């Protein structure tokens, strides 16, 4: 059975005694009384179950075990100091790091502008962009692996709070030479039997499967699965199939001639987007501040600084 282990105090003690050889000198270096240092020596020996020092004419002689620990302690403590200095340098102007992800689509063309906007709200908050889960981000939020996520849909999640951001259109995308490229609007009957590329073959309650395929009873022919939007766009532009993405994700390609984006449904089918975070986040905390900044950023008129 494993007992208590040595901690950093014991490593510092062993290094100090190895340097000075005397309890009084080592205690001065550590800011302890000689009596407190003697107790710490006994505690370390008890935890290890081996003797570390022998007294020789008012000096301490290290046993082989202590000499080995002193050598290792020197390396470990120097490395720890280096790491601490690096962490301080990396975060010297940062008070809080908020971990952000987007669910379903890894679209970040908006990020540079938002970071500039966030700096006007909170200069000392930094965003760490996390890997985007293709399915439900809720477990990552509740397990504190992600602090805040941009998610589609209107479903509620126990233990989570939501802030509305914006409403988007669902767009059918195809290659310019595709037979449907000239349409002004696309319905389920148009897509029936078409080669279709999806980010997931698990039907989502608020995505295209539920909003157009199932209601109309018309289904495409699923031919490929690709989670990253970039992969979907490459396949579509090469006329390897069609797909459905939100207009927000397609925004960087508005001026591109590689794909044709056509509104889905009549009237156009829309998709809502929200911030999701833990419900126990303080109302005046950094996560809530980032959520409010995202709401204001996405809500401001296009072209407004």
Supply the CATH number for residue 161's domain.
3.40.190.10
Does a structural domain hold residue 102? yes
Quickly count helices (H) and strands (E) in the chain.
Answer: 12, 11
Whether residue 83 sits in one domain with residue 27: yes
Whether residue 293 sits in one domain with residue 144: yes
pLDDT grade, residue 174 (50/70/90)? very high
Whether residue 263 sits in one domain with residue 221: yes
Q: Over 60: is that where the pLDDT of 300 sits?
A: yes
DSSP string covering 131-165: PPPSS--HHHHHTTS-SEEEEES----TTEEEEEE
Give the number of domains in the chain. Answer: 3
Give percent of the chain with pLDDT exceeding 90.
26
Does a structural domain hold residue 115? yes
Whether residue 139 sits in one domain with residue 129: yes
Does a structural domain hold residue 305? no
- 289 three-state secondary structure: helix
- 120 three-state secondary structure: helix
Secondary structure (H, E, C), 56-113: ECCEEEECHHHHHHHHHHHHHHHHHHHHHHHHHHHCCCCCEEEEEEECCCCCCCCHHH
Range of the domain at 159: 96-166+271-299
Q: What is the pTM of this model?
A: 0.67
Supply the CATH number for residue 83's domain.
1.10.10.10
Does a structural domain hold residue 62? yes
Does a structural domain hold residue 2? no
Q: Over 90: is that where the pLDDT of 189 sits?
A: no
Does a structural domain hold residue 1? no
In tens, the pLDDT along 212-260 reads: 777 777 778 888 887 778 888 889 999 999 998 888 888 876 666 788 9
């Amino acid at each position: 059975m494993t007992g208590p282990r040595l901690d950093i105090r014991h490593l510092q003690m062993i290094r100090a005694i190895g340097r000075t050889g005397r309890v009084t000198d080592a205690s001065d270096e550590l800011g302890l009384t000689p009596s407190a240092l003697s107790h710490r020596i006994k505690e370390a020996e008890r935890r290890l179950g081996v003797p570390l020092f022998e007294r020789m004419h008012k000096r301490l002689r290290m046993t082989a075990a202590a000499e080995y620990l002193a050598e290792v302690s020197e390396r470990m403590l120097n490395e720890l100091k280096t790491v601490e200095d690096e962490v301080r340098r990396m975060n010297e102007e940062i008070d809080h790091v908020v971990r952000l992800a987007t669910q379903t689509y890894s679209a970040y063309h908006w990020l540079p502008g938002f970071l500039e906007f966030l700096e006007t709200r909170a200069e000392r908050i930094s965003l760490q962009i996390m890997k985007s889960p293709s399915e439900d981000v809720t477990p990552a939020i509740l397990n504190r692996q992600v602090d805040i996520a941009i998610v589609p849909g209107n479903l509620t999640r126990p233990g989570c709070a939501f802030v509305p951001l914006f409403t988007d259109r669902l767009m059918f995308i195809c290659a310019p030479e595709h037979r449907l490229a000239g349409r002004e609007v696309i319905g389920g009957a148009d897509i029936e039997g078409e080669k279709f590329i999806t980010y997931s073959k698990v039907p989502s309650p608020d995505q295209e499967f539920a909003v157009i395929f199932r209601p109309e009873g018309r289904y495409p022919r699923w031919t490929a699965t690709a989670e990253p939007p970039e992969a979907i766009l490459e396949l579509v532009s090469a006329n390897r199939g069609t797909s459905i993405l939100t207009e927000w994700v397609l925004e960087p390609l508005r001026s591109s001639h590689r794909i044709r984006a056509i509104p889905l449904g009549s009237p156009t089918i829309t998709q809502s987007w929200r911030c999701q975070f833990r419900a126990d986040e303080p109302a005046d905390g950094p996560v809530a501040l980032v959520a409010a900044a995202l709401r204001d950023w996405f809500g401001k008129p296009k072209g407004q600084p």
